[in-house]
Amino acid sequence: MQTTATQSDCEQTIGTGILYVLWASLFFNLIPCQATAGNLKAEDLFRQDHLLDVQIKMAPEDFEKLRSQSDRSNSGMAFLFGGEIPTERFSQFKADVSVDGTKIKEVGIRTKGFIGSLNPDRPSLKIKFDEYRKQSPVEGLDRITLNNNIQDESLASQYLTYKLFNKAGIPAPRVSFAKVTVNDEYLGVYSHVESVRSPFLKHHFGDDSGEFYEGTIADFYPKAVDRIEAKNKRTRKDRSRANKLAQSLENQETFNLTEVEKLVNIDQFIRFWAMENLIAFWDGYSNNQNNYFAYTNPKDKNRFHFMPWGADGAFVDISGPFGRMRRGEGPRAIYSQGMLNNRLYQSKGVPARYKAVMEDLLKNVWNESEIMEDIARIQKLTRDHLHEKQDRLEDGTEKVTELVRLRRSDIEKELKDWPIEIGEARVPLHNVQVGKLKGSFSTDWNNERMESVLNMGETNIQLVLEGETIALKSIGMAAQPEEQRNFGRRRRGASENQPREPRPTLTFQGIRESDGYLMNITFVVANEDFAKSNDEGTPFQGMLMAINPENSGNRFGGFGMMPKSLIGKLTLKEASRRQNAPVVGEFDGIIQESRGGMFGGKRNRGGRGPGRGRPPER
User: Is 6 contained in some domain?
Assistant: no
User: Quick one: 189 and 292 in the same domain?
Assistant: no
For residue 538, the model assigns a pLDDT of 86
pTM over 0.95: no
* Domain match, 561 and 589 both: yes
Residue 4 lies in a domain: no
Residue 30 domain-assigned (yes or no): no
Same domain, 406 and 536: no
> Are both 118 and 213 inside the same structural domain?
no
User: Tens of pLDDT along 460-481?
Assistant: 999 999 999 999 999 999 999 9
pLDDT in the model for residue 114: 67
Give the residue from 323, 258, 311, 321 showing the smallest Cα distance to 285. Answer: 311
Residue 411 lies in domain: 207-415
Q: Has residue 379 been placed in a domain? A: yes
Q: Output the pLDDT for position 78.
A: 52
pLDDT confidence of residue 329:
66
Q: Is residue 211 domain-shared with residue 194, that is, in the same domain? A: no
For the chain of 618 residues, list the mean pLDDT of each consecutive stretch of 10.
Answer: 43 44 42 52 95 98 88 49 57 96 97 74 95 94 95 96 99 98 98 96 97 96 95 95 98 95 99 98 96 98 98 81 53 95 97 99 99 98 96 94 97 97 91 95 95 96 96 97 60 46 90 95 86 76 89 51 88 93 96 81 45 45
Shortest CA distance to 568 belongs to which of 532, 524, 505?
A: 524
Helix axes 350-364, 266-278, angle to 10 degrees: 60
Q: What percent of the chain has pLDDT over 90?
A: 70
Task: Give DSSP secondary structure letters for 100-136.
Answer: TTEEEEEEEEEE---GGG--SSS--EEEETTSSS---
Residue 457 and residue 503 in one domain: yes
> pLDDT value at position 617?
47
E-state strands within 151-257: 175-182, 185-193, 212-215, 229-230
Please tell me whether residues 556 and 483 are part of one structural domain.
yes
CA distances, 187 to each of 112, 114, 150, 182 (Å): 15, 19, 12, 7
Which residues on adjacent β-strands are paired with residue 435? Answer: 465, 591
What pLDDT shows up at residue 263? Answer: 99
- Count of the separate structural domains present in the chain: 3
In sequence order, what are the beta bridge partners of 40?
138
The closest of 369, 394, 493 to 156, measured between CA atoms, is 394
* Domain membership flag for residue 421: no
Last residue of a domain, one of 387, 415, 443: 415
Q: What is the pLDDT, as a whole number, of residue 478? A: 97
Are residues 281 and 378 located together in one domain of the fold? yes
In a domain, 451, yes or no: yes
194 and 214 share a domain?
no
Looking at the structure, do residues 346 and 282 belong to the same domain, yes or no?
Answer: yes
Within-domain flag for 214: yes
**Same-domain status, 310 and 438:** no
- Clarify whether residues 472 and 385 are in a common domain: no
> Domain ends where: 198, 230, 255?
198
CA distances from 233 to 87, 199, 207, 215, 236 (A): 16, 15, 15, 17, 5
Angle formed at CA 191 by CA 187 and CA 195, multiple of 5 degrees: 120
Residue 444 included in any domain: yes
